[in-house]
């Protein structure tokens, strides 16, 4: 997929013309079909192995990813080294299957809050979550000032949900422009935007899987074009599935959104990029912020 270069119609915007999108869709369809054939014969042992793998995710799975852009997160890591409090924002799709909030487990934002405020003892930091189930990029952009910018975030994690691709390639240019606009607004307010891809839903039919992958590639293209940090959860999950086995236990009952284990793994990927995993902690990060 690295050889597919989006065609730009304007200097500040990535746009996939219909002809290009059709080629991209065909290439992705072939790739996905090949992957399905390769995994169709996976043994029950591999599935059981993946299930046991939940709490001990090999760091190789976290670290891989040519699109991860982890080197662009230095500014975010520097925010963690200063004494001044940091405001962290989670916006976009909450990656929940419904809006009832009836969960007895932590979301990715909840894991992040626990890590920052309690384990690293950065008590003055604030973690704001404005994400909603199924929120689309154009909906977020329409209310971006009231929903996000009024909190003046130092770092804004923008999550793209699996419903984004429901309209197919027809809405792709609108999606790209919405993301580019929000990236610019976060930067103008003094914050750092961080894009996040979404793992492929396992309940999607082939056509939906191709559409989802097209939007994932578009997100990667936007990150590369506009020099935005990207945490590529999708690529990490694909790596784990191809090397370990089924990730069914990482999804909710519907197989569309990450479940309890999935949200933990999303958080671990963020921790890895920010060098916040336990083995990467330093005495400086462990110090108490109460007397700072």
Residue 101 banded pLDDT, cuts 50, 70, 90: low
Q: What pLDDT, on the 0 to 100 scale, is given for residue 22?
A: 47
Residue 7's DSSP bridge partners are 15
Q: Per the structure block, which two tokens stand in for 283?
A: 């005495």
The answer to pTM > 0.85 is no
Question: Distance (Å, rounded) from C-alpha 109 to C-alpha 131?
Answer: 10
Q: What pLDDT, on the 0 to 100 scale, is given for residue 116?
A: 94
Question: Distance (Å, rounded) from C-alpha 232 to C-alpha 93?
Answer: 15
17-286 is classed CATH 3.40.50.1110? yes
Q: What pLDDT, on the 0 to 100 scale, is given for residue 290?
A: 32
Mean pLDDT of the chain: 78
User: Using one digit for the tens of pLDDT, what is the confidence trace for 241-291?
Assistant: 888 877 889 998 888 889 999 999 999 999 988 988 765 443 343 333 333
The residues near 140 (Cβ < 8 Å, ≥ 6 apart) are: 91, 92, 147, 148, 158, 178, 182
Residue 48 banded pLDDT, cuts 50, 70, 90: very low
Question: Distance (Å, rounded) from C-alpha 117 to C-alpha 136?
Answer: 29
Contact 133, 99 (CB under 8 A): yes
């Amino acid at each position: 997929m690295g050889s597919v270069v989006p065609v730009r119609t304007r200097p500040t915007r990535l746009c996939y013309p219909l002809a290009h999108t059709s080629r991209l869709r065909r290439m992705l369809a072939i790739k996905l079909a090949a992957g399905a054939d390769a995994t169709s014969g996976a043994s029950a042992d591999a599935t059981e192995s993946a299930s046991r793998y939940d709490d001990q995710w090999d760091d190789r799975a976290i670290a891989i990813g040519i699109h991860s852009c982890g080197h662009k997160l230095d500014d975010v890591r520097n925010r963690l080294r200063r004494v001044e409090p940091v405001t962290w924002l989670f916006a976009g799709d909450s990656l929940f299957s419904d809006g009832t909030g009836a969960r007895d487990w932590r979301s990715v934002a909840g894991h992040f809050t626990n890590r920052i405020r309690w384990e690293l003892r950065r008590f003055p930091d604030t973690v704001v979550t404005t994400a909603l189930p199924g929120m689309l990029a154009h909906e977020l952009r329409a209310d971006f000032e009231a929903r996000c910018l009024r909190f003046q975030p130092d770092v804004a994690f923008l999550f793209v949900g699996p419903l984004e691709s429901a309209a197919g390639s027809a809405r792709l240019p609108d999606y790209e422009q919405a993301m580019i606009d929000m990236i610019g607004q976060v930067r103008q307010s003094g914050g750092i935007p961080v894009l996040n891809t979404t793992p492929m839903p396992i309940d999607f039919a082939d056509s939906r899987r191709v559409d989802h992958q097209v939007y994932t590639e578009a997100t990667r293209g936007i990150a590369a074009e506009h020099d935005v940090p990207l945490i590529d959860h999708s690529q990490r999950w694909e790596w784990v599935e191809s090397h370990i086995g089924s990730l069914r236990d990482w999804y909710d009952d519907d197989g569309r959104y990450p479940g309890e284990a999935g949200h933990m793994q999303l958080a671990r990927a963020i921790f890895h990029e920010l060098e916040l995993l336990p083995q990467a902690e330093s005495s400086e990060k462990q110090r108490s912020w109460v007397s700072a």
